[in-house]
Amino acid sequence: MTEPNAPPLSDFTEQDLKATLNHALGWVGAFGIAGFVATWLAAGWQSAVLFLVGAAIAATGLYESKRLMLAVLSRFNHGRQGKPVAGVLIWFFLRLILAGVVLYVSLRSLEGSVYALCAGLGLAVVALLIESVRLLRAWTL
């Protein structure tokens, strides 16, 4: 017995991957807002901003990973007519460089907690874990 909207494992399509990663982005957004408020109340505005910077980097990482995975899957499924991967790879690496710059500037200019920044960065892992458990549960019921 599976959830009505969960596909069987053998029928997991590009649209299912896109929906799963969009749900994960939603989790990052929800946890990012809640964590921002909680961090502001517990540790001050500078730590809250660092948390928000980490959450934004986590969200952009998920978004760029989704674009890269979909481009590679499209290339596998459609051959030469698939989405070109080079442009997606360029933006992926530019985002990594930009994320490094943002991390450096944030840590140098704000006197907040590094732990808040790490917690924000970890939101992507938490969101993907939630979505993985949801999919696993749907396939095993």
pLDDT tens profile 96-140? 999 999 999 999 999 889 999 999 999 999 999 999 999 888 878
The model's pTM = 0.82
Highest mean pLDDT among 18-22, 71-75, 136-140: 18-22
Residue 86 lies in a domain: yes
Calculate the average pLDDT of the chain.
86
Q: What is the pLDDT of residue 1?
A: 44
d(CA 132, CA 40): 30
pLDDT given for residue 77 in this prediction: 73
Higher pLDDT, 37 or 92: 37
Q: Name the least confident of 58-62, 78-82, 128-132.
A: 78-82
- Establish if 5 belongs to a structural domain: no
Residue 52 lies in a domain: yes
Please check whether residue 106 lies inside any domain of the structure.
yes
CB–CB of 126/31 below 8 Å? yes
Instruction: Name the token pair of 32.
Output: 């990012």
Would you say residue 1 lies in a domain?
no
d(CA 135, CA 9): 9
Provide the 8-state DSSP code for 45: H
- Work out the angle between the directed axes of helices 114-121 and 85-109 (0-180°, nearest 10): 160
Q: Which domain holds residue 117?
A: 13-140
Radius of gyration of the chain (CA): 18
55 against 15, higher pLDDT: 55
Any domain includes 44:
yes
If phi > 0 it is left, if psi is from -120 to 50 it is alpha, else beta; for residue 31 that is alpha
